[in-house]
Chains A and B, each alone.
Chain A
Amino acid sequence: MTLTTTAKNVKEVDQVVVRFAGDSGDGMQLTGSRFTAVTSLVPNDTATLPDYPAEIRAPAGTLAGVSSFQLHFSDHDILTPGDKPDVLVAMNPAALKAHLSMVKSGGIILVNSDSFDERSLGKAGYSSNPLDDGTVKPYRVYEIPMTKLTLEACKSAGVKPRDAERSKNFFALGLLSWMYTRPVQPTIDWIEERFATNEMVKEANLRSYKAGYNFGETAEIFEARYEVAPSRFESGTYTNVPGNTALAWGLVVASRLAKMPLFLGSYPITPASDILHELAKLKNFGVRTFQAEDEIAGAGSALGAAYGGCLGVTTTSGPGIDLKAETIGLAAHLELPMVIVDIQRVGPSTGIPTKTEQADLLAVVYGRHGESPVPVVAAMSPGHAFDAAIEACRIAIEYRTPVYLLSDGYVANSSEPWRLPDLDALPAIDPHFLDTPNHVDDQGNTSYWPYVRDPDTFARQWAIPGTPGLEHRMGGLEHADGSGNVAYDTLNHEKMTQLRQAKLDAISKSIPLLAVDDPDGLGGAEVLTVSWGSTYPAVLAGVRRTRKRGLKVAMVHLVHLNPFPSNLGEILGRYRKIIVPEINMGQLWTLIRARYLVDAESISKVQGIPFKAAEIESAILDALDKGRAARS
């Protein structure tokens, strides 16, 4: 390691929010995830928020083309990617314009001054240079000619200027690494490995990275460097994992736990495709991935594989679940296991494909014709997507039912330090394939009846093709319980409808009771927040803030949305004031009001981005005010 640091004024801070912003072609996602990776090594706790345009190559230099990556890191347990950045790295005028208003006042702004020419200013819609006209006055601005310095650093290596220029994101990374005293060697090693096959690019990136670091060291323009002390983590081995990767791994682990080979039928769609990409790599885990002709075939093929005894999974996002609905209804009717993963995004229709939303909840609970109950499980954070995937598979296999696994664009693409689970401690999932007849007729002939059920779980006994003597027919026509023979008798239909619902309800017996986070004991707090999915970190952060103010605030978070944990009603009944924050127009709110007749209040946001802790904080304060006013 050739980079040296002299003793300089190093300040301790307990947490920092950094946002990298630039043109889509500037490599901001890469820069952000690299910075996150070395920050995890300190170790600091981290939470990230990547944000990029839907277009692959949005017009360069425009506001529409700005891509950003926000990282919150700290010496303590943090939950959200941070409300307002302390530091903004702006690689061009459009990035500055798009993100300036978000920066904390007095915050640090590092700009690539080389990109502030008239043309680029014009593209960003600036009529005068914001660096000169007072726009950035409330901030500490460092104008750094990053392009020029990068080109200079690469010159002697014989890299073509055009290629060298592309490395300027590594200059920024180097500079930030110096500013926040991040470990240097891991990034150098990473560059060497990642670009091993392209000597020129490797050299350019290495030189730019080091140049950025050395610039901080020697330029004498920065008053201080900062240090964020290691965070106290529970002991264990950690990795930094994006939600989609964790979800894919959870599916593979579930397949091992159940000894059922994994089959994924999927049609590409943002932000779900990365699960297909990840699983497509894992052929040596016995994983078959099938890029289907459309979402209907994705679901159909997964159900076909499930019928044959595989763990059948299909992954998609909003528009895809509309197409899969009929197949899911068939799976619910046949009572075959299948997992449908919905990485929710902004809708309706194509909406904003790269932005997050939680607005598919009612669609997955109710969005099929007929009475078609389907269990729903939701991931609440990137690491939790692993657990949620296993839980969805468990319910699907043990209860022979399609299960919806909800995640969203935020969980999918953001990452967090994740403590690796003890794989050996995970309980097995038992599909209980039947291999002997389960029915004897009057003449003593044996056969297999597909709808003979466990009296407690209502799960049917399941035989798969290839089992001699257990041949049977099943279909989407209403059938008799037991034999499975087609039955048009209307009273039988009512019985079957009730049975399918009873099976769903029985699942709640296998779900742990919901634990309330209430420092004053159940029912002690003045207000209860109810959350689900990716609002978890922001809601918890908001609740903590209000508790710091001495307020009595409780929280429950739902992983199971259908059926609900059996004690949810009892918990809700213990609080006078309940708020339900969601990135939709109040969907869980609708469900719990309908189900439990509680006067809960919806806190709704549909801006394609997660809640900020401050928004939850003020929603809780409002709720308390209203509650008190109502009582006085």
Chain B
Amino acid sequence: MSDGVATAVSRPDTPISTRKDWVSDQEVRWCPGCGDFTILAAMQTLLAELGARRESTVFVSGIGCSSRFPYYMNTYGIHSIHGRAPAFATGLAVTRPDLDVWVITGDGDALSIGGNHLIHALRRNVNINIILFNNQIYGLTKGQFSPTSEVGKVTKSTPYGSLDIPFNPVSLALGAEATFVARTHDMDRKHMMEVLRQAYDHRGASFVEIYQNCNVYNDGAFNDITSKDRRADYLIPLVHGEPIRYGKDGEFGVSRGEDGMLHLVKVADVGEDALLIHDMSLDNPSQAFELSRLARGPHEPTPIGVFRSVDCPEYGYEVTRQLAEVESQKGIGDLAALLRSSGTWVVE
């Protein structure tokens, strides 16, 4: 145990190949039609595809409809307390680098009660994948507005409309030094799986916002982006290395104007060469941040995809490295010597 890492006994694993192996024996209790189902299916399918190991996969959640997720995964799982999953996951990931730790959270869980833990887990770059199910509402408590609800939202707690200015989760994560930031939505399993795959592969903290429909308390909040008929005009796909363009025939795009700012443009007006080429690997997060500001909400053309993915030292690895470094300088700690370290005297 000299490296200070607990490891469980390892035995040959039974090969896992199908989604079914990742499905737990618990009955799924979300409302019929809830977006959470498709996210669950995407995750189970992906983990099977990735050949991940059940015994080294842990889902940690807070409280909310979304946070019931771990019960439905046939892996290790903890349904913790409201907002605190990133703190719990940090302690686990830092001491058990052998595990894949996922955090499942909601917009209230992550951004309201747990906002502090979220930003600190991101800035430390702890090796966890944080998946935020953003339905722009408090589902479990039956429909109050959330920190991502649009201004003027009428809910039980805001009968005359909410006055709070919402967070933009992607902007927030970028501001919190996140090294991997992405957005996807619950109506496109393929895109979800691709984004989650990249989050899984990323070393350090990954942050994925998933637009998730709550068909009971906030139905259709993301219709512009997710519905087949409007998607083309509202969903701006971010593809690394490709010009950013959208519209049925790619007639719209994103371009940096003479004022130095990013603008939504008609490709015909500026020419293809003027389109911004998406680069998620930029060290400076400013451009990713600008992209995150293009839409004030999901009712305007909104970038979907990976905003930022950069390599930075991972926290748990650094902690372990420092332990090893001190150990190589001082040798493995000697308890008897420690107890004598501030001087002793002997009484015969």
Contacts and interface: CB of A to CB of B under 8 A. Distances in A.
Interface stretch (A151-159, A230-238, A608-616): A230-238
Contacts of A293: 116-117, 120
Nearest to B113: A296
Given A41-B345, A288-B323, A312 B91 contact: yes
Given A293-B117, A300-B117, A286 B2 contact: yes
A471 interface: yes
Interface string B60-75: 1001000000110111
B96 A330 contact: no
B343 A234 contact: no
Nearest to B77: A473
B347 interface: yes
Contacts of B96: 308-309, 465-466
A290 B342 contact: no
Contact of A288 (B4, B84, B343): B4
B282 interface: no
Contacts of B340: 237, 239, 420
Interface string A44-85: 000000000000000000000000000000000000000000
A446 B4 CA distance: 31
A239 B9 CA distance: 40
A308 B97 CA distance: 10
A433 B9 CA distance: 9
B99 A296 contact: no
B172 interface: no
B3 interface: yes
Given A300-B84, A330-B80, A473-B70, A435 B91 contact: no
B284 interface: no
Given A256-B335, A293-B120, A263 B94 contact: yes
A622 B8 CA distance: 60
B58 interface: yes
A284 B327 contact: yes
A433 B1 CA distance: 15
A166 interface: no
Contacts of B58: 465
B228 interface: no
B14 to A, nearest CB: 8
A252 B99 contact: no
Interface string B318-345: 0100110011011111011011101111
Contacts of A283: 322-323, 326-327
B56 interface: yes
Interface in B272-316: none
Contacts of A310: 6, 91, 95
A260 B319 CA distance: 17
A240 B344 CA distance: 8
Contacts of B60: 304
A294 B116 contact: yes
Q: Which one of B53, B71, B331 has the highest number of Cβ atoms from chain A below 10 Å of its Cβ?
A: B71
A302 B26 CA distance: 28
A567 to B, nearest CB: 33
B79 A473 contact: yes
Interface residues of B, number: 73
Nearest to A424: B336
A471 B79 contact: no
Interface in A286-329: 286-288, 290, 292-294, 296-297, 299-310, 312, 326-327
Interface size class of A (residues with CB under 8 A): 35 or more
B87 interface: yes
B24 interface: yes
B88 interface: yes
A172 interface: no
Contacts of A433: 8-9
Contacts of B12: 468
Contacts of A41: 345
Given A263-B94, A308-B99, A286 B1 contact: yes
B87 A292 contact: yes
Nearest to A294: B116
B259 interface: no
A259 B342 contact: no
Contacts of A412: none
Contacts of B26: 473, 485-486
Contact of B343 (A239, A297, A307): A239
Contacts of A256: 335
B55 A466 contact: yes
Interface string B112-144: 000011001000000000000000000000000
Contacts of B338: 249, 252, 282, 285
Contact of A301 (B73, B94, B330, B347): B94
Nearest to B83: A296
Contact of A238 (B89, B116, B347): B347
A256 B4 CA distance: 11
Nearest to B88: A304
Given A290-B319, A304-B90, 20 more contacts: A239-B342, A249-B339, A283-B327, A285-B335, A299-B87, A300-B84, A303-B91, A304-B60, A304-B92, A305-B92, A308-B92, A309-B8, A435-B11, A465-B8, A465-B58, A471-B54, A473-B26, A473-B78, A475-B70, A475-B77
5 contacts: A286-B3, A288-B95, A290-B319, A292-B120, A297-B90
Interface of A: 37, 40-41, 43, 233-241, 245, 249, 252-253, 256, 259-263, 265, 282-288, 290, 292-294, 296-297, 299-310, 312, 326-327, 330, 334, 420-421, 423, 433, 435, 463-477, 485-486
Q: Which are the 3 A-B pairs with shortest beta-carbon distances?
A: A475-B79, A304-B91, A300-B87
